[in-house]
Chains A and B, each alone.
Chain A
Amino acid sequence: MGVEGIGARVARKEDKRFITGRGRYVDDVKIVGLTHAHFIRSPHAHAKVKGIDASAAKDMPGVVDVLTAQQLVDDKIGNLICGWAVSSKDGSPMKMGAWPAMAPDTVRFVGQAVAVVIAETKNQAKDAAEAVVVEYEELPAVSSMTAALASGAPQLHPEAPGNVVYDWSIGDEKLTKDAFSKAANIVSLDLTNNRLVPNAMEPRAAVAEYDEAEEHFTLHTTSQNPHVARLVLSAFYNVAQEHKLRVIAPDVGGGFGSKIFIYPEEMVALWASKKVRRPVKWTGDRTEAFLTDAHGRDHISHAEMAFDTNNKILGLRVKTHANFGAYMSLFSSSVPTYLYATLLSGQYNIPTIYAEVMGVYTNTTPVDAYRGAGRPEASYLVERLMETSARQLKVDPAELRRINFVTQFPHQTPVIMAYDIGDFGASLDAALKAIDYAGFPARKAKAKAAGKLRGLGFSCYIEACGIAPSKAVGSLGAGVGLWESAEVRVNPVGTIEVLTGSHSHGQGHETTFAQLVAGRLGISVDQVQIVHGDTDKVQFGMGTYGSRSAAVGMSAIFKAMEKVEAKAKKIAAHLLEASEGDIVIENGEFKVTGTDKAIALPMVALAAYTAHNLPDGMEPGLKEGAFYDPTNFTFPAGAYICEVEIDPGTGKVDIVDFVAVDDFGRLINPMIVEGQVHGGLAQGIGQALLEGAVYDDNGQPVTASFMDYAMPRADDVPSFRVSHTTTLCPGNPLGVKGCGEAGAIGSSPAVINAITDALGHNRIEMPATPGRVWEALQLQQAAE
């Protein structure tokens, strides 16, 4: 393996453009004749649209047109879809109301668009938007699940009586009930998983262009999966035909799930470019991001765990309510079901589990996948429950986990997943050592002497990544396959382009994917170019989410490379007059083993393209493609330990130490992997201490800017201590598991467990702001 191959800390190839200001994001795209779109949005959480008067706006300077929801209907543009069918316990399909890209008659959340102004400049579009008069008739709104489920509550969609989308379950109810009836101890807990706003730093944007002569559209958009966007826009939204639509996702400034979905604004921009026969740009501002980017989490759960006399888990029972907001977003239905409840076994041997999930409509922004998507909610529940159990059963929390760890693999859980491999004890041991667990009582005593409260909390998380085996997810209701594709093109001069369906928006694929190729051939990463994010260049791909790009995307490249190498070896053997089986690839050369005969890669490539002297019957060229469909999920897992100090005077929580030990299988570029963990940890800590989307009772968002929604800043988080243990994933050729979401999945329970340890009781919810922690401390004192 070369020095730039797998496992090397190679500096990122993509960085030069970003550090010099030459990145090319959607809003940087300029086209001659460009117009600018500004949406008119509902100020009400629930209202009838009685009429739109755009006559004054149309006469304002620079206004090209004002398009309304009714025109979308007239043009037979399709409604937004939810691509994963989930059925209720009784077998009935989920109950969904229609979601038009702009609302013709009823708005159901603040920020829903009803019309769009197209003008020569952005300011002109904004000015004209002020002159559009929309008449609303306000309807009563529900902003919480409790309000939505109350009898007599206002109804959002006639299709979904009682505002219930589905009432789903997984696992064996009777078996679980029996297990509980035999329990020596039962521990129960109520939890809220707070609603989060993803807030990728680049707001969503779209630049749409229509070529009348060719009847062809080009859409530049902030997407994690441009091919899926093209498929959905053509097959379901009826905006453009697939072969007449090119979708380009250039540099994208972060996604975290929020840029998976195909939103109303992108679709309307595309449609409008044909309507006004001019290119149209829409760039969201931060307020629009808060109002319209799919939010994450928002669960309320009750959980119970049954133990025998030896503190072994007998069963787990969970009841969760999941808030979907006003409409069912693209993958929303799968998040609190197949991405959540299937992970409720955690790292533990749990003989039986029964989980019920009710999906609920409210007059709030739609909720969908956000970094971790379902798995953070699962790990928060399981790990809070384990810590609570340890305290109630008076067992050391590390010990309680250890005696319940799964140690034999493969391990079939009672909730679909089959864990392929892992060593949970090894990660926990490494974390205990790193934090100096034995020294904690002394540190706590010292803090106490200084008037501070110290606490330590664990989180032993597991997640399912490498999403996903197509057949398996198809049987669970997914509307798409979740394989990945790759094409490896060796140019006549021996340089290489790799076309991939994965999309990089911060993950560093242009480096890590090149490392795979460079390492196999023994060449420099500079000889390898990664091409992604353009449907005209890459034939198809499912994109980047669910920590799938290494496990699935790179495995496709691996397969294509094997084919390229096999053909190149045949050519080399022919040119060297050797037998194909004797050819090895080293340092960019094809060598005959045991001899000094060799031919360099560029010469083999050139021979493939001149085709003057190829083996009989061989086609010219050196280019191969592959599709890779995983055989199972991958299961990254790890142990996180957080140590906090609370100032009882203010309730402020300081994270004094954070240790993360992850098992991601083989690491392609440890520097990049660590960076992924750091970012995830900050998001999980943000959820635990700072972040939370809040609505008032009328459905008005009160946290719709960075002034009101607390994003983690540099002085809110510590430096992290990140390390790894390794079991190689047997399910893919690279042995990789995926690392993009772990930090966000594992960290919030560790933080809250540390806080509850310091407080001495469990009555604290996320985000544990100073105000809440201070109140929790007063509760404690009142009790004493």
Chain B
Amino acid sequence: MSTVKLTVNGKSVSATVEDRTLLVHLLRENLNLTGTHVGCDTSQCGACIVHIDGKAVKSCTTLVGQIDGANVTTIEGIAKGDQLHPMQAAFRDNHGLQCGYCTPGMIMSAIDIVNRHASDLDEETVRQELEGNICRCTGYHNIVKSVLDAAGRMKVAQAAE
């Protein structure tokens, strides 16, 4: 067992967990943050992606004990109150989701993609960068559209800040 301190969606959390506890389990079982999903057992699907210190990470492959002191953001933590994150809004407006199961991971991954590709984001880059996220419903067409749309919106939002 080990005790770790984390910041999750802006709140400090302290948890004593078995050494084998994965971040996704801490989020879902202990913190009731069930928006982060599990879609596989081989670190392939990306349904579990969260941000650790601002970077997209697969929480199914992260031991809680590895990230003492980290700042974790989940899908539940990206909207500002009632105001959706531009990526969330773009997924809704472009029909970037169907069953919604892959969606939290897609959105968290996509925000990171846009952050890393300030100016050079095109369809091909988005498709390559989404390699670690599997969606069985949408055929990716509208996900790619959503990400490109959000990239524009995020730029506008940043300029306004």
Contacts and interface: CB of A to CB of B under 8 A. Distances in A.
A237 interface: no
Given A11-B92, A253-B101, A714-B131, A679 B42 contact: no
Nearest to A672: B95
A343 B107 CA distance: 40
Interface in A653-676: 671-672, 674-676
Contacts of B45: 201, 286, 706
B18 interface: yes
Most chain A CB within a 10 A radius of its CB, from B36, B74, B91, B141: B141
Interface string A22-34: 1111011010000
A283 B107 CA distance: 24
Interface stretch (A453-461, A502-510, A602-610): A502-510
B99 A201 contact: yes
B27 to A, nearest CB: 10
Contacts of B75: 19-21
Contact of A717 (B47, B102, B131, B139): B139
Contacts of A681: 139
B33 to A, nearest CB: 7
Contact of A15 (B20, B36, B92): B92
B35 A16 contact: no
Contacts of A682: 138-140
Nearest to B128: A715
A22 B104 CA distance: 10
Contacts of B95: 11-12, 671-672, 674-675
B31 to A, nearest CB: 12
A104 to B, nearest CB: 28
A15 B97 contact: yes
Contacts of A404: none
Nearest to B34: A28
Contacts of A20: 35, 75-76, 79, 84, 88
A235 B140 CA distance: 41
A719 interface: yes
B42 A706 contact: yes
A27 B88 CA distance: 23
A252 B130 CA distance: 23
A254 B45 CA distance: 14
Interface in B118-145: 123-124, 126-128, 130-131, 133-144
B37 interface: yes
A11 B98 CA distance: 12
Contact of B99 (A17, A22, A506, A705): A506
Contacts of B47: 201
B44 interface: yes
Contact of B100 (A198, A506, A676): A506
A720 interface: yes
A715 B76 contact: no
Contacts of B40: 285-286, 705-706
A705 B36 CA distance: 20
Interface string A241-284: 00000000001111010000000000000000000000000000
- The residue among A200, A505, A678 with the most chain B CB atoms within 10 A of its own CB is A678
Nearest to A288: B41
Nearest to A251: B100
Contacts of B84: 19-20
B101 A254 contact: yes
B103 interface: yes
A18 B141 contact: no
B152 interface: no
Contacts of A674: 95, 142
Contact of B134 (A15, A201, A705): A201
Given A15-B91, A675-B142, A679-B137, A202 B37 contact: yes
A161 B150 CA distance: 60
B101 A202 contact: yes
Contacts of A683: 136, 139
A450 interface: no
Given A18-B97, A21-B33, A123-B20, A202 B39 contact: yes
Q: A-B pairs with the 10 shortest C-beta distances?
A: A21-B35, A253-B101, A18-B100, A682-B139, A506-B99, A506-B98, A21-B75, A678-B139, A706-B44, A714-B130
Interface of A: 11-12, 14-25, 27-28, 30, 123, 198-203, 251-254, 256, 285-287, 505-508, 671-672, 674-676, 678-683, 705-707, 711-715, 717, 719-720, 743
20 contacts: A11-B95, A12-B92, A12-B95, A18-B100, A19-B103, A20-B35, A20-B76, A21-B33, A21-B104, A23-B100, A27-B28, A30-B32, A123-B20, A202-B99, A251-B99, A256-B136, A286-B40, A672-B95, A675-B142, A678-B139
Given A21-B36, A23-B100, A714-B127, 15 more contacts: A11-B92, A15-B91, A18-B100, A20-B84, A21-B104, A201-B39, A201-B45, A201-B136, A252-B99, A675-B138, A675-B142, A679-B98, A679-B139, A714-B128, A714-B144
